[in-house]
């Protein structure tokens, strides 16, 4: 994200609100980043609404609203895994809008893709986890609803892709050492905007989606007992 002086603050520091303390609790609040991407540079900019960097955060009946990179979940260092629990909350964005290396549960949440900025036919991603390879728990969405607004096209949005954080390309990816994002979506309703044939896209470093016998670490993306037009069940 740029500034009027052409300085760069970076993705995480673009956050409207940043939580560093452990045991943070929030209820009935809205976290919103209304920055208009492209104001100081191109349209491919991060504008985080909420960055959770402390452990054991609990958020209930909150709204987290942005476009690209809306909700960041990750510690302030590379060795700690933070945990967060979202209940009956609303999260909106358009590109990689729930991302990071943390462990998080989204229980009874509405996760909404908005096509207002990118246009109805844009291809985009909901989750972008950078889970450490030795951490079996990334993001879990359960009893939640995935829907869309802004005239989003059917079959336009991937449920997610792995964020190979710090990896410049496939030649730099190291199996068992580089991040390997993990997501489980279960018992949830998936709208028609979700890509039915290929719900999970290639990683940010270019690793193709692969679940077994892969050249790179197998993707850890799972769906179970979901319903709706975007569900593979």
Per-residue DSSP letter, 133: T
pLDDT at 205: 97
Q: What are 78's two structure tokens?
A: 């590379």
pLDDT (tens digit, 9 = 90+) per residue, 127-182? 999 999 999 999 999 999 999 998 899 999 999 999 999 999 999 999 999 999 99
Q: 90 with 59: CB under 8 angstroms? A: no
Task: List, by residue number, the catalytic residues.
Answer: 96
The pLDDT, as a whole number, for residue 6 is 46
With contact defined as beta carbons under 8 Å apart, do 27 and 62 qualify?
yes
Least-confidence region, from 74-88, 111-125, 145-159, 189-203? 111-125
Domains and CATH numbers, the chain: 12-224 (2.160.20.10)
Query: At 37, is the pLDDT very low, low, confident or very high (cuts 50, 70, 90)?
Result: confident
Rounded CA-CA distance 165/178 in Å is: 8
b/e 158-169 (16+ beta carbons within 10 angstroms → b): bbbbbbbbebee
pLDDT for residue 120: 74
């Amino acid at each position: 994200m740029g500034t009027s002086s052409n300085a760069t603050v970076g993705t995480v520091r673009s956050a409207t609100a940043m939580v560093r303390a452990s045991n943070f609790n929030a209820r009935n609040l809205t976290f919103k980043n209304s920055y208009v991407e492209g104001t100081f540079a191109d349209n491919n900019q991060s504008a985080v609404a909420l960055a959770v960097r402390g452990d054991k955060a609990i958020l209930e009946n909150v709204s987290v609203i942005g476009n690209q990179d809306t909700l960041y979940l990750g510690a302030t260092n590379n060795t700690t895994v933070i945990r967060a629990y979202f209940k009956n909350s609303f999260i909106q964005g358009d590109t990689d809008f729930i991302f990071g290396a943390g462990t998080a549960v989204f229980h009874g949440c509405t996760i909404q893709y908005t096509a207002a900025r990118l246009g109805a036919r844009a291809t985009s991603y909901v989750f972008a986890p950078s889970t450490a390879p030795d951490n079996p728990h990334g993001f879990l969405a359960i009893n939640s609803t995935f829907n869309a607004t802004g005239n989003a096209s059917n079959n336009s949005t991937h449920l997610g892709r792995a964020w190979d954080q710090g990896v410049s390309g496939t030649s730099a990816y190291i199996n068992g050492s580089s991040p390997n994002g993990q997501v489980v979506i279960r018992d949830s309703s998936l709208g028609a905007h979700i890509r039915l044939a290929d719900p999970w896209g290639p990683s940010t470093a270019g690793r193709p989606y692969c679940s077994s016998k892969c050249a790179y670490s197998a993707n850890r993306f799972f769906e179970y007992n979901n319903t709706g037009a975007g569900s593979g069940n």
